[in-house]
Amino acid sequence: MEDHDSIRARVRDLVARHDPTATAPREFLGHRFDAGLAWVHAPVGQGGLGAPRDLQAVVDDELAAAGVPRLNAARNPIGLGMGGPTVLAHGTDGQRARLLRPLWTGEEVWCQLFSEPGAGSDLAGLATRAVRDGDSWVVDGQKVWTSLAHHARWAMLLARTDPNVPKHQGMTYFVVDMHAPGVEVRPLRQATGQAEFNEVFLADVRIPDTMRLGDVGQGWTVATTTLMNERVAIGAAAAPREGGPLGDLMSLWRDRPDLRTPGLHHRLLRLWVRAEAARIGNERTRQATAAGKPGPEGSAAKLAYAAIAQDTARLHLELTGADALGYDDWTFRRSEMTGSGQVRCPGFHYLRTRANSIEGGTNEVLRGVIADRVLDLPREPRTDTRTPWKDIPR
């Protein structure tokens, strides 16, 4: 049974065998995976040691003490934040052996084929069809708002496999090869100038049944794992005090004495307190996730994150004035990104945060989750939860 001392010994042995200062980052990540130190709770040979989840913090602290940079989730955010946990929770041993190592190292980027033009907030209403054909499934449909689809090798796909049952019961979850024949990716340009997400068309795309996650018809259960982890990944990411855009705002405040009016000071102080309370609360959320129980607290974290990010961007824009709109390359280059995954430009940040209350579940949907699963309030009346999907008006 692994304990703190044995985990520390494993980390020190890893660092001794593969000097992180002389080893390429991706290669070092591969060695870390092989040593069972990627996610220690996973089975041996699949990036883990079958150890308690809370020992992951020991790995991270020991690596940091050795000078190894913290894991940069921005290199494969959907894979690390959602794909990995879903495969670990619902994948077969063969799927884990094939998918997890290149996901961890960043060799294979992941995306998420959930939302559709007619099924965004009501994800269970999706219409993309998967029809069984021997040992394969043939998929036809359209997905939209798919971040990183233009870079991705694999996608998490939720498709309808039985239209004759209520909508939550007739879906199945697949991992689809984005290089497969019939997959077409078209970029969507945003107000920021980015084209970070896309619409994806699927025409007679064949998926082997071996790439199905979970049982047929149990896609909603598997998708819930993905969505819970997504909200934690977006809203409860680890951040230092005054990290990210809030730190930029605080630096501006300290450098500009002319801005220190009582009204602005009050607004900034309230924003700082909200951000600090959310940061501390997120520590508890991450502990719940480390214990294998990502739940509705992730929805609360993501809801708070969206509001704080938007209010931070709005105040930064006000304090900066016309200079905030002065970034002249609206086509967006990855080289302009900081370690936090954002361009350090108030105008860009203001525009980008408009999406924070939509992506990963709209604010309205998340409030519904909190009302239902945290506050135990009565649910809104629904007329479509027992009706076969094919009979629901669209």
* Structural contact between residues 113 and 157, judged by C-beta atoms closer than 8 angstroms: yes
With the C-alpha atoms ordered 240, 366, 156, 135, is the resulting torsion angle positive or negative? positive
Query: What does the DSSP 8-state code read for residue 379?
Result: P
Element (H, E) at 103: helix 93-105
**Does 2 qualify as catalytic in the annotation?**
no
Contacts of 298 (CB under 8 A, 6+ apart): 228, 229, 230, 231, 232, 235, 236, 285, 289
Contacts of 222 (CB under 8 A, 6+ apart): 86, 89, 90, 173, 213, 214
Angle at 330 between CA 326 and CA 336, to 5 degrees: 85
Rg (CA), the chain: 22
* Structural contact between residues 206 and 180, judged by C-beta atoms closer than 8 angstroms: yes
What sections of 204-324 are H helices per DSSP? 219-235, 244-255, 262-290, 297-320
Distance (Å, whole) CA 330 – CA 343: 11
Q: State the CB neighbour count (10 A cutoff) for residue 3.
A: 11
Q: Which amino acid is at 277?
A: A
Which residues make beta-bridge pairs with 129? 140, 160
Annotated active-site residue in 108, 116, 230, 297: 230
Which residues make beta-bridge pairs with 198? 146, 187
Distance (Å, whole) CA 103 – CA 87: 11
Q: What is the DSSP string of 29-85?
A: HHHHHHTT-SSTTSPBTTTB-S--GGGHHHHHHHHHHTTPPPP-GGGSHHIIIIIHH
Residues that are catalytic: 230
